[in-house]
Amino acid sequence: MNKLYVILIIIVFLPKTGNVFSSESIFDVDNIVVKKETHKKNENLINTAFKEGFNKLTQRILKTSDIKKVSNTNLTEIRELISHYRIIQNEELNKQNSVKINLSFNREKINSFFFTKNISYADISKTKIVILPILVEEDKFYIYSENYFYKNWNSEKKIKKNDFIDYILAVESIDDIKFINDNIRNLETLNVSRILSSYEIKDYIFLIIKNENNKFNIFLKGKISGGEVIKNISFISEEENKEVKFNYLINQIKREINDLWKSKNLIDLTTPAFLNFSLKLKKPNDLLEVKKILVKIDLIENYNVLVLNKNFVKIKIKYLGKIDKIKQKLNEKGIKISISDEKWTIELT
C-alpha cells in the first residue's frame, strides 16, 4: 500500500527582506534537520538551525583559513544575515521527532558582512575534475590495482552532501600505464595533460602519495578552473589502522583541492564591474524573461534598462567576479552571447 505523506510547509520572512527562494543560489542552505527533543522551545530549535546553516554556508563558500575568522559569529549577527527560512514537517520527520529547515541568506547583507571582515568568498558551482592518485610505498608504485586511494576515492562513505566537486577517476589504460612506467622516476615532471586531458573535462589532477613511516608527502599537479596548479602537501598520522588513516588522508586531500578551486573562483567584493549589452527582441516577453534570469544570478548586484525600442533593449549590469563567470552563467540560463568589437549582444535561445 502506498503511503500518503502530509507535508506542512511554513515560510517565515524576517523583517526588511524581499528575496524569494532560489534553489540555484549559493546563499541557500537546505535540509537542516533538527531534533525536537533537544529543544523545548521552537525559538531554540530555529536558533540551532540558524547556527548550523551559517556554518554550512561558510564551509561551502569560504577557504579553510577564512572559515576560522567567522567561526565565532554570534547568533544576533547570524539572524541579521538571513532573509527568510522555511520549516518543513511531514510524517517521516514526525516519526523521527525532527523538523527540516531551509534557510535563505540575504545576498547584500552577506556581501557587506564579508567585506567588513576583508574576506572573499567563492562562487561555488557543481564542477567535475578528472583525478589519478598514485600510491608510493616502500619504493613500489601502485597505479590502479592495490591502490587504496584509486579504489576508494569515490567511496559513498566519503562523499558528503555538500561536496561541489564530482571526481571522475581516470580509466585504466595500458597506454597510460606504459607512459607512467617509462617516467616512473620523474613523475613530478610528467606531462599530466597527456593522460588526463582527453576526458572532455577541463579540470584534472595528478596525485603522487608517498607513504614513509606515517608521514605522507603528497605532490599535486594539474589544472583547475583553467589555471595550472602545483602543490606539495605533508601530513603525519600515528593512526595504526591503515584504512582509517587512508580515509582521513583522502578527506584532507579533498579539502586541499576544494581550497585550490575556491582560490581560483574568489569574488572580489571591493571591485564591482559594469557591463552593457543589447538584447535582441524576438518575442514580446523577451525582456521580462531576461530580467527573471538576471535576478537569479548571484554575481549580478543590479541592472538598469538604458534604451528600449521595438527591436532591442540596452541593459547595464553591475556585477562581481570575473567576466568569464558572467558569460558562463548567462549561457547556462539559455542566453546566447555574441561579441563584436567588444560589444555584447544577447538573445534568448
The pTM of the full predicted model, rounded to 2 decimals, is: 0.81
Q: How far apart are CA 228 and CA 143, in angstroms?
A: 23
Domain boundary pick from 264, 281, 308? 264
Please tell me whether residues 112 and 133 are part of one structural domain: no
Please tell me whether residues 136 and 177 are part of one structural domain: yes
Domain boundary pick from 76, 97, 121? 121
Sheet arrangement for strand 98-105: 8-13, 82-89, 98-105, 28-35
Q: How high is the pLDDT of residue 21?
A: 36
Is 32 a domain residue?
yes
Looking up cell 528575496, which residue turns up?
Answer: 19
DSSP letters along 165-187, please? EEEEEPPP-HHHHHHHHHTGGGG
Indicate the number of domains in the chain: 3
Between β-strands 204-212 and 127-137, what pairing exists: parallel, antiparallel or unpaired?
parallel
Please tell me whether residues 248 and 234 are part of one structural domain: yes
Range of the domain at 35: 8-121
Q: How high is the pLDDT of residue 8?
A: 47
Q: How far apart are CA 184 and CA 135, in angstroms?
A: 12
Please tell me whether residues 238 and 134 are part of one structural domain: yes
> What CATH number is associated with residue 313?
3.30.70
Please tell me whether residues 175 and 259 are part of one structural domain: yes
Host H or E run for residue 302: strand 300-308
| Mean pLDDT of each 10-residue bin along the chain, 349 residues long | 46 42 73 76 84 95 95 95 87 76 93 94 91 93 93 76 85 92 91 90 95 91 93 90 92 95 91 93 92 92 93 94 90 92 90
Looking up cell 601530513, which residue turns up?
Answer: 235
Radius of gyration of the chain (CA): 24
- Among 102, 77, 125, 88, which residue's Cα sits nearest to residue 19? 102
